[in-house]
Amino acid sequence: MTVDAVIFDKDGTLFDFAATWEAWAAAFLERLSRGDPDRAERLGASVGFSYRERRFARDSIVIAGTPAEIAAALSPSLPGFDAGQLIALLNEEAARAPQREAVPLLPFLSDLKARGLRLGVATNDAEQPARAHLRAAGVEQCFDFIAGFDSGHGAKPEPGPLLAFAEAMAIAPARIVMVGDSLHDLRAGRAAGMRTVGVLTGLAGHETLSPMADVVLPDIGHLPRWLLRVAPTGVSVRT
């Protein structure tokens, strides 16, 4: 096996999902409900989030859904908003959501780049909030390719964004590893013909991810050692 590139999901993979998005969801629901906790709880239930407990359900649409899908789930409870308004609000709040890195990202990504790997991000978030998050972490420049659900390549679990990365890098999908925290990520990777790595910094457990993953790791910090094991002559990885 030779590995020439790695494409990452963003939320739950590069950034810890619960630490980042529980605060965002509470703030967003407070804004929509104008501070009414009962209404915030009802709105949260429509997207799999408990406002009172500050906790996502494991099947929440927010985990892997696009802003358009989240807006569609909220719309029946918000007759005063159209889908475009809700998507704009979601993207506005998402762009300023405080991100907690799953591992220190700059040294991690810089090391992978130094080994000659091309790096990408494929997220079901919108591209501009995604870039804002990566820029705030000081790592936007580490990526050769960044795609959101609105970048023109489709959204996961379809393989479009991953295949667009492979085409842009002129690298065969079989020489690329897809890393993500959800089944959407891993299904997209499998459909694209890539090796797949699950990480546990989202809400899905090992038992959920393992059927679709070549390996499940605690977090992306364990990726270099795995790469060394599976592609000892195909990629040079610091140990």
pLDDT > 90 fraction of the chain, expressed in percent and rounded: 73
Neighbours of 46 (CB within 10 A): 16
Same domain, 80 and 119: no
φ/ψ of residue 127, rounded to 5: -65, -45
Same domain, 12 and 37: no
Helices within the chain (DSSP H only): 17-33, 37-45, 61-64, 67-74, 83-95, 105-114, 127-136, 160-169, 183-192, 206-209, 223-230
The burial of 79, by beta-carbon neighbours within 10 Å (0-12 exposed, 13-18 middle, 19 or more buried), is given as exposed
Instruction: Judge whether 23 and 97 are in contact, CB under 8 Å.
Output: yes
Of the pLDDT bands very low, low, confident and very high (cuts 50, 70, 90), residue 238 is: very low
Among residues 64, 80, 95, the one where a domain terminates is 95
What local confidence, expressed as pLDDT, does residue 239 receive? 40
Structural domain includes residue 116 = yes
Note down the domain range covering 113.
5-16+100-230
What local confidence, expressed as pLDDT, does residue 235 receive? 63
Q: Per-residue DSSP letters for 22-75?
A: HHHHHHHHHHHHTT-HHHHHHHHHTTTEETTTTEE-TT-HHHH--HHHHHHHHG
Q: Domain tally for the chain?
A: 2
What local confidence, expressed as pLDDT, does residue 10 receive? 96
Among residues 71, 95, 119, the one where a domain terminates is 95
Whole-prediction pTM: 0.85
Instruction: Judge whether 101 and 16 are in contact, CB under 8 Å.
Output: yes
Instruction: Judge whether 87 and 148 are in contact, CB under 8 Å.
Output: no
Q: 36-62, pLDDT tens digit by residue?
A: 999 999 999 999 999 999 999 988 998
| 16 Cβ neighbours under 8 A, 6+ residues apart | 100, 101, 102, 201
Average pLDDT, the chain: 92
Structural domain includes residue 210 = yes
